Structures are given as structure tokens and as C-alpha cells.
Chain A
Amino acid sequence: MISTVNYFNVKTCEEAIQLAHDHADDFCWIAGGTDVMLNRQQENNTAACLIDIGDIGELRGIAVHDNKMRIGSLTTLHDVGKNELILQGFPTLAQAAKSVASPLVRYSATIGGNLLVENRCISYNQSEFWKEAVNHCMKIGGEKCLVTGSLKHCFSQFVSDTAPVLLCLNAEVQILDKNGSRILPLQEMYSGVGLSPRRLDKQALLTDIFIPMSKPHKIYFRKLTRRKAVDFTSLTCAISADEAKNITLALSGVHPGPVMLQDMLDCDAETLVKRALKASKTVDNDMYSRTYRRKMIGVFIREGLQMLKKLP
């Protein structure tokens, strides 16, 4: 059982950054907490100090400004799923938000937290009892990946469902740390490395998500799960096409980071599937087999391309 030594509720970003600085050795941000608490229950997250950013009002809300939609990182998935601006501008984003977990989770879960959700694996998302019995995998301090036997790589899955859509929309994220604020393309936030999937300083805050409104996109979205609620993804696929028929393909659930590829709408589907498969380090760490998920990568891509071609 892990003990939390300190719990801070903060109201402003400045306060948050300062506290993070003071507790730099062992802290963790908590937004909606739906992922943090799950990982604390499983003792993957053992930070002594939690800094609750949930009450930072300035990080909530959705608005369009300068031809960009800004979504505050603390906006809940519930709100994203029913927001008029989003439903009109980016209905697949609403769809992706609504595909996460269950309505109950989404009341608390934030979009920022969803982009930064911890990677998952069948040998990582277990109780401490379980993990101790199998000698902990490398993601939790052990020597090797228990799924593949690898001594080098962790293959935990990146599971965010909103990320693929946001990647397809060329979203950018705003990051705040003690040196100030900067904006970077969403994909730069991800390392693709199972052990440390984010390329983000621990003390940095994700404050905003920006989506350019300029180019009208058509987007395909599909998530593979057995049940229609509660399940984490086994494969999430988004494909967008812009006016110039450039397409962006983004996958989650099949690799330690998002898989992102660019191509043209009239590309050879099979070549694109091959590229996607090559880029996805999918292993048997999910409720569905590696073989099946890889097969579904092909199915979703072909279906997506066809659908996008048909759309006006």
C-alpha cells in the first residue's frame, strides 16, 4: 500500500509550477485522476506527493480564436464529447472522447490527462502482488520485458483514444514550465519509448491544446474493443484527409507511442498498411492477440481510406 505524504490543491498555474519545483524529487500531477488513481491502486505510481491541478479554472474551456480552437487541458472528456463547437468543427474528436472508458469516468477524465495517459501492458497493469510474483517487468524496475523477454525494450501500449484524432488534426500543445510557455506539435510530446513515453519534463504542465480551424478535414475514426464501454483500446485508428488529399494516419493501442504516417488519399492501401505494420511494434500484451490486432490495422486502414474517398 502506498502512502501519500502530501496532497496539494492548486488554483493557478504559477502555484502549480512552484509546488512542482519544491517537490521535484517525488511528485505527480493529478488532473481528473482517473489514470493516476488506477496506477496508484496498482502501485505503478508511488509518488509521495500529488499536486491536484483540477481546480485551475484557466485551464478549462473550449473556444475558437485566431482561426484556432483552444481546448484547455483540464476540459473533461464529458464536456469535449458534447461541446457544440467541437461537434460542429471536429465531430470525430467528440466521438473519440466518448469512446474513452465509460460516461462515469469521463465526467472526471480530462483531455490533457487522456493525451498523457500512462502506457499499459498486461504485465504492468497488475497488482503489486501479481508483479512481485513474476519479478516485476522492466517498466516497474525489473530487468526485462515479461511479454517478449527483451532486455532492451518495453513494449507497453500507448492507449489514448483522443490522441490519434488530434494528431490527424495537426493539433499543437502548449507546455508551461518554470522557463515559460512554449507550443509544440502534439507528436513531439511522445517519445515512442515504452519506459518513458513522454518527451515532457516531469515538472511541465500541459496547459492547452490548439487545433487549426483552417483546413477542412474529413476524418475516419474507429476503436477496437470487445465491449462498447469500459474497455481500453486494442487498436484506435484515425485517418484524416485534407482538401489537397494529403492524409494523416494515426494509431494507438499497438505501439509504445502513437504511430503516425503521412500519405496521399489515392495511395496504394496495401503499401500504407505495410508501412503502418512496420511502424507498429505490437506485442501480445493485450486482451486481443498481436496477430488479430495487426490484421485489424489493415482492416481499419482499408475501411478508412474507402470511407474518406466516398465522402464529399
Chain B
Amino acid sequence: MKELHLIVNGREHRLLVDAGATLAKVLREKLGLTGTKIGCEQGSCGACTVLADERPALSCLTPAPACDGQSITTIEGVAQGRVLHPLQEEMVRHGAIQCGFCTPGMVMSAIAFLKENAHPTKNEIREAISGNLCRCTGYKKIIAAIEATAIRLQGKTTVMPDKSGNSMVGTAQPLIDARKKVTGSAKFADDLQEKDSLQCRFLRSPHAHARIKSIDKSTAEKIAGVRYVLTGEELPEKFGVLPISQDQTALAIDKVIYIGEIVAAVAADSMEIAENAVRAIEVEYELLKPFYTIADSLEKVGKTDDAIHPHCREGANIHKRASLRFGDQQAGLQKAACKIERSFEFSGVTHAFTEPHACTAVCDAEGKLTLTTATQVPHYLHRAVAKVLQLPLEDVRIIKPCLGGGFGGKGDPFAHEIIAAHLARKLARPIRIVLSREEVFLTNHGRHPTEMKLAIGTDSEGKLSVLDADIYIDGGAIGSFGVVTTYYNGVLLQAPYKIDNIGFDSCRVYTNKPPCGAMRGHGAVNPRFAVETVLDELAEELAMDPCDLRLKNFLPANCLTVGQYRITSNGSREALTAVRQSSGWDHKFKKLPFGEGVGVACGFFISGSALPIIWNKYPQSVVHMKIDFDGRVVIYSGASDIGQGSDTMLAMIVAEVLGIPLKSIHVHAADTLFTPVDLGSYSSRVTFMAGNAAKMAAENLRADILAGVAAETGEAVERLDLQHGKISSKDGKIALDWLETIAHATANRGALNATGYYISPKLGGDFKGAGAGLSPSYSFGAVITQVRVDSMTGQVEVSDIWGAHDLGKAINPLAAEGQLEGSWHMGLGQALSESMRFDNGHITNANFINYRIPTSLDTPEIHTKIIESIDPEGPFGAKECGEGALHPVIPAVANAIYDAVGVRIRKLPISPEEILTGTAQNGGVK
């Protein structure tokens, strides 16, 4: 122990700390200053940045005793009372904050930078924040906020166009929780610090496939401060996000199937004690033959070997096969005037959200359980916890606090969540769990490694006539969303182009690796890459401009695809035309010098899955609203804001319908005790479904208010008008402000309630597999990128991304742009630098140093264009913008590389080595 004297945000502290404690831990755990975040504990993400004697310091790498006597400023010390620092204001105003987990570190780092450099260039700003990883924003708006701050601090004023008009929908609004996030007061799952809680750590499997022969926990149990050592047999009930894939237990039972699977859990008085106890548990394993690759798992399992699961198919480790055929592809390909068949290989990638998984479980004296956790799907988790713990559904409450990014990675019920819940009940003590960054990688659920063959044929004019795909995906050890992924890989090939002869076979295998699941752009990202790069080849073969080829083949609006997807609004054409123009495509394609090139690609995505995961007649989203005497409207929605801004979207829709300002609205979301069911943040469904439900609820409330006022005043409803928070009658006799309106509306009956819900229309054909990929609406988009390839090293630098995305209607353009920019940024990572690397089932880069998500310096200029096609069924015309934009960016980079150096890319991530091999083969000419 060390005595420590710290001045933190001007306040003096004398503390006794462990000599090995980091400053980050002391600030968070001892002083409760949880604004400082921990994302990696290796100095590689910047979330923990504070100022120590005015200089930035990574508090996760700073030993607390090294700060003795120092003055520390954390994010909590930046604002003066409620007056924000100019940078904080600009971050809020520019929409530079999405999930907000990187925000505190970003603010600290930028404040210090602006003190050193009052007149920074954009590139200097990029450089200055290059140690602060942001996974949500693509950095563009952060850089803009810092630029604006610099200008403001020079005494000049910056003007943001004032977009507050009469209507709310369509105006740029900072997220309603942005001020909380930028001041460090927003509470994320690990910030709760429930009193008297126990810490829980896990013993994880060091083997990819092994039988558990014995577990000896006796030594661990005897360690002082250890409260419980949990092993698998206590929680035998299986779970999984899909009803058809209940193939996981909370802890391994009898055997382990991937490195990192939880074998035992220790609840103890402190993290250190728990950790020591974990190491004292002895497990004896008998090794089984492991299956690491798709090829391994397609092979018949030997007689003396064990399949990964008992339900594996065909005597091999096959999980699921899917196939759909419309027409005869072989005949079609034979007839095609021009055809190309290629093979592709994709590495697995992971979400790499900045906030590690964390949760706190509390069980009250009545035995009721509250689990506060970083989840995208409170509803499915609610069911899974009740199922595994064998509790009545009514005894389980799930709360999603602020969430530091999900991207699909927090979209399953997780073992650690169920363990926390179980231990909290068992021990009647709050249980805290936070995963290390390595554990986040071991938990994975990222994009499936994929191998595929794709053939596309056209007629002599370049009309696409046939497409055939053969796809294998590596699911890792459990099912997760995998059955859906297996379908999506194939069915989502049927747009955005019209192809009537189309077929696919897809197959998901289990392997002894951390599970794969849903990740932004679910199931369609890799096949989209294949299609778009083959189209580029076809265009060349046909001597057509790749943009023209695409324009020629787009599906129109209001049509059915061959698999009976109902396409309503469709902005493909506008999107491609927009980027073609803004990028200067026609002057650049095939015209840039060797080493430079442009590439184009398009994409589309579902705007919410039309079929719920659990088949019942409950609507996909329900919203309740309440208004009481104080005039405040409370929205209750189960929708999970995971940083994308769905709470703000709900508030804006309601504000629009009721004609009241955002500040009169309170959103209470994602708390299964109070909020009616919304299925969760996945499949890009929230704006469409929860947005529609909120709109309906608001309209009902509006009608009820008008009816109440009519009843009180004796005026006919038709003659009353509710606008700008005021009610007036046509003849002007009645003029009520908001509080008066509410007083009238609540007279003799009290607070008003309203309900709205959303159910997808019945869609699709009635063949097997017809349900996969059905959506009430689809988004469309196009991307052009420009690259520079170093022909000596094979290194690729993307200098510009021009992206356009048809999202129907941007309810909040600021947030919508943020989603698009974040998607393009994430796609760039998969294209160029990200890959889950394995060695005998071990991830070798389970950290942010070697799992390389693009930094601000690796993110090019992003030129964002929103296309509004006004969807007939979306709320105010809106459809998705959170995922679909990602698809085209990766093939656009690959196609640009071809334009630059004449090398075709068929493997991700793009490797400089392969580019060099390619240029060596083509003799260094395009």
C-alpha cells in the first residue's frame, strides 16, 4: 500500500492505494470518477486520457503512485458547473458524440492539444487525436468540432446554420444524451458501482476442444474473500438468441469447445481476490481433436473423434445448410454472353466497440432480479435469463444503461450476463462483471470468416442474367444468429440489381473458435464484396463504365425481386449518380496515373427484419407515452440506444407530432420493468419499427389531448388545432398554452396514456426460406473511393470516400450522417487492416495494438451525401442508415486498387503482399 496525495479537479484527496494500482482504477474505483473510461488497459485506445499537471496522460498506463502530489484533471473537471467548455459545446453541436465512450478521452486529448497549438490544420488535428480510437463516428465530426473550437478560442465565431424551424423531423439535433456523455456524467454499465458488490472473474478454457475430466475448486474456495466458485452443472439449461439455436450453456459442462469458453466463475470481495482464486482452480482436461477451419469441419468426423455438438449434421461439423434457386443457373451461365466466376476468401472481423462488455446484477429481498448490462437486446436477454435461471419472466428486469457501441456485438444474451444474474440471486449480493479487452475478443460474435465462389453472367448488352453462389461460413463454436447469417449470405444477393435467374447454396460450419454472429451489415458484407468486384470485372470485359453497368441493372422502385422482396422506395440511381458526380468519376476512372485509382460499388440492406425471431403475435415494437400535469411527455420504449441515437429519434418524432420542444420530452428506454417490448437494436430495425410505434403513440396522445380539450371547452375537435405546443380554435376564441392544454386534457381523468405499436405487413412468398431477408423496406447506397497504392511496398492509402445512402428520410440528419460515416470507417477497417488472426484456435491479436481499427490518421476525407427517397411506410419516410452504408465501401476500395495498379483483390483484408505479387505478375502496368 502507498499513501497518495492527489488533487483531482481541484479537490484534495489523501488515499491509501495498492502500490500497483493504475491511476485509471484509482479515479474510477476509489474516487468514483467514472467519466474516465477504460477500453483496453494497454495505452492503445485513449479512452482513459486525463491531464496530469496539465499534460495528457493515459491513466491506464500511469501507476497511481507516480502521480503523488500531482494535479489531475478528469472529464468531470472540464466544464465550469453547467457551463460547458467550448470544445464540449462544439462536440455536442457537431454530432461528434455517438456512443460517447471515447468522448471523455477525446475531449481531454483535444483540450491539451489546442493549448499547444491554437491554430491547427486539419491534419494536425488528425494527428493529435490519433491515439484516441473512435469506433462510431469515422472521426469526421470530431475533427470538425475541434476545428470549430480552435476558431472560437481565437475569438472568432462559427456559425452553424440554424436549423430550428417549425418542424422537428429533418433538423440536425445533437443527441439528447450528448451533454451527459461529454461531461462524463453518463453512466455506462461499469460505472454503476453498486454498493457492497462482489467482483466476478472467470476461468476460461485454454483448449479449443477438450473433455473436462475434473474440476477441483477446493483451494480456490478456501481463499479469504472468495464468496463462491460456480461451475457449469449448476446452470444446465441451454440458451441462444434464436429459438432454433439453443446450443450454449452459461459455463462449459463436460467439455469445452473453444479457447476462452467460461469453465468456472469466482465471486469475491475484490477483483484481485477473484483473479487469484481463478488461478487456484485446477481443471483436468482430456484433449479432443479440434476443428479450426471450414475444411476441417466439412470433413466427416472420425469414429473415435467428437463432433463439436451432438446436433452437428451429416456426420461432419455442419451447423446449417441453406439453398434457394430461381431458374436454372447452369443453363443461364452457359447462355450468358459474358460470364465470370471467382473464388473469394474473407477473414473474420469483430465489432471492436470501445466499451468492453460489463454488467451489474442485483437481487432484491423479494428475490426479484435486476440486471443492468451493456446489451442491444434487453428483451431476448430477459427471456434467456428467465429460462436459464428458471425464474418467472416477471421476476427479471433488464436495464440497458448508456452503451459504448454494439454493432451487433452486444446483440446476443451472453454467458457472463447469465452468470452475474445467477450469482446475484444465489449470494444475495450485487455482482459486478467487466470483461478485459482480451475477453471481449474471446467473446467475439463478429463477422464469419467466409469462403465463397460466385459466378455472374450478363447478356451482350450488360444486363445481368444469372448469378450463382456457393458459400461457406465459419461459425465458431456456437449458433448465435448463425442460421440467419447462413441465409443472409445468399438471399441478400437478389438486390439492388435485377437478376431473375439466381441461386445459392450456403453452409455454416461449427469450428472450435470463439463464436461468430451478427456484425454491422449482417451476412451480406462478404457476398456484396464478391458481387461488386465481379461486376467490375464484367464491366471491363464488356468495355462498359462500371457506373453505367450498375445503372443499367438497378431494380426500380415499387417492384418485387425474384425472391419476392417488396421493394418500395429505391434511391439506388440517385445515390450512384450523386457520388459519380461529386467524386469526378468521369475524369478519373482509368485516367489517373499508375498507382492512383478510383473504384465504385453499390449496396442495399434490410430496414428491419419483417419476421420476429420468436414467432408470436406480439408487435415488433410497442411504445407507451404518458403526459401529466407538469406538461412533460414521457416516452417508454424498449428500444436500445447503443450510441446510434435512437432515444433522440423517438423524442424527435414525438416532438414533431405534438408540436412541442425536445426539452419537454423525457425518454425512458430499455428497461424491461417499465418499457414495453421492442425487439432490440439489430437488423437496422429501430427507426423503422420503434419510430413507427412512437409516431402512432404520439398521434393517439395528440388525439386524446384534443378530445380532452374539446370536452372541457365544448369546442368540436375538428375546430381545434395543436401546433407549437399551443391549442387554438379556428375562431381564435380558444388559445391555450401547453400547461393550460394539459390542464384541460387531464381534467376529471388525470394523466393521459397512449400506446402505439408496429407490426410488419405480411410479406414474401410461401416457399421454404422465403422469410429470410424480408423487410418492410430496403435502403440503398453507393460509394466511390480514391486510393493511392505504393507500388514498392504494396501499401494502400485511401484518400477519399464519396458515399451516398438512401435512408428514406433523415429524421435527424446529424445522427444519420454520423451513422454513414461510422459505417464507411468500419468498412475501411475490414478492407485494409482488420482481421481476427488465429493460431491453433488461439486469437493472436486479441488487443487494440494488433487488431487494427483505423485511427484518425487512417481515415480519409469522407464526403457524405444523404439521399431521401421518402419511404411510404417508414416514419416520416425514414428507413435504415446504420448498416447498409458499410457494404459498398469495401469493394469500392478493391476496385479502386484495380484501377490504380491492375491487381484484383479477392481476399480480405487486402494484403500488401498480394498487391506486390499482382503487380509483379502484370509487370507493373495497369
Contacts and interface: CB of A to CB of B under 8 A. Distances in A.
A105 B62 CA distance: 10
Interface in A14-47: 30, 33-34, 37-38, 40-41
Interface in B854-874: 854-858
Contacts of B61: 33-34, 37-38, 105, 108
B42 A104 contact: no
Interface in B268-313: 271-272, 275-276
A36 B204 CA distance: 26
Contacts of B616: none
A228 B18 contact: no
B798 to A, nearest CB: 12
A108 B207 contact: no
Contacts of A67: none
A27 B452 CA distance: 54
A56 B338 CA distance: 73
A109 to B, nearest CB: 9
Interface string A117-139: 00000100111011011100000
A125 B848 CA distance: 12
Interface residues of A, number: 50
Contact of B207 (A34, A133, A228, A296): A133
Contacts of B913: 289, 291-292, 295
A33 B62 contact: yes
Interface stretch (B43-51, B367-375, B554-562, B586-594): B43-51
A4 B19 contact: yes
Given A108-B62, A230-B855, A38 B20 contact: no
A298 B700 CA distance: 72
A244 interface: no
A224 interface: yes
A9 B129 CA distance: 30
Contacts of B132: 104
A54 interface: yes
A228 to B, nearest CB: 4
Nearest to B843: A130
A76 B856 CA distance: 23
Contacts of A3: 18-20, 272
A50 B195 CA distance: 32
A133 B436 CA distance: 17
A34 B62 CA distance: 8
B57 A34 contact: no
Interface stretch (B63-71, B501-509, B535-543, B628-636): B63-71
Contacts of B272: 1, 3
A41 B436 CA distance: 11
Given A9-B65, A103-B128, A1 B275 contact: yes
A287 B43 CA distance: 19
B130 A228 contact: yes
A237 B883 CA distance: 41
Nearest to A291: B913
B793 A224 contact: yes
Contacts of A103: 56, 109, 113, 127-131
A42 to B, nearest CB: 8
A227 B65 CA distance: 33
Contacts of A127: 436, 438, 846
Contacts, number: 153
Interface string B11-38: 0000000111010000000000000000
Contact of B63 (A30, A133, A291, A292): A30
Nearest to B916: A295
Contacts of A134: 842
A228 B858 contact: yes
A230 B849 contact: yes
Chain A CB within 10 Å, residue with most, of B204, B848, B858: B858
A117 B849 CA distance: 16
A135 to B, nearest CB: 10
Contacts of A287: 837, 845, 850, 852
Contact of A227 (B46, B62, B852): B852
A79 to B, nearest CB: 10
B63 A7 contact: yes
A193 interface: no
A4 B20 contact: yes
Contacts of A130: 438, 842, 846
B19 A5 contact: yes
A9 B3 CA distance: 12
A129 B846 CA distance: 12
B513 to A, nearest CB: 14
A226 interface: yes
Contacts of B19: 3-7, 50
B411 to A, nearest CB: 26
Chain B CB within 10 Å, residue with most, of A40, A102, A299: A102
Contact of A7 (B65, B271, B842): B65
B816 interface: no
Contact of A230 (B62, B131, B206, B276): B131
B833 interface: yes
A221 interface: no
B854 A33 contact: no
Given A50-B63, A107-B55, A292-B913, A4 B18 contact: yes
Contacts of A291: 913
Interface string A98-114: 00011111011000000
B857 A228 contact: yes
A232 B847 CA distance: 13
Contact of B855 (A2, A30, A37, A227): A227
B65 A230 contact: no
B42 A38 contact: yes
A229 interface: yes
Contacts of A224: 793
Interface in A208-260: 224, 226-232
Chain A CB within 10 Å, residue with most, of B19, B129, B276, B913: B19
A37 B61 CA distance: 6
Chain B CB within 10 Å, residue with most, of A41, A50, A291: A41
B855 A229 contact: yes
A309 B577 CA distance: 48
A9 B68 contact: yes
B844 interface: yes
B857 A227 contact: yes
A78 B41 CA distance: 21
A229 B18 CA distance: 32
Nearest to B68: A9
Interface string A132-161: 111000000000000000000000000000
A50 B66 CA distance: 10
B852 A52 contact: no
B83 interface: no
Contacts of A54: 66
Given A129-B438, A230-B44, A299-B793, 18 more contacts: A1-B275, A33-B62, A102-B46, A103-B127, A103-B128, A104-B132, A108-B58, A108-B62, A125-B849, A126-B844, A127-B438, A130-B438, A133-B842, A227-B854, A227-B858, A229-B131, A229-B856, A287-B852
23 contacts: A4-B20, A7-B20, A38-B61, A52-B66, A102-B46, A103-B131, A104-B43, A104-B56, A105-B58, A108-B62, A126-B844, A126-B846, A133-B259, A226-B795, A226-B852, A227-B858, A228-B130, A229-B858, A287-B852, A292-B913, A295-B913, A295-B916, A296-B793
Which 7 A-B pairs rank lowest in CB-CB distance, beginning with the nearest? A102-B131, A4-B20, A133-B206, A229-B130, A104-B131, A228-B857, A7-B65
Interface of A: 1-7, 9, 30, 33-34, 37-38, 40-41, 50, 52, 54, 101-105, 107-108, 122, 125-127, 129-130, 132-134, 224, 226-232, 287, 289, 291-292, 295-296, 299, 303
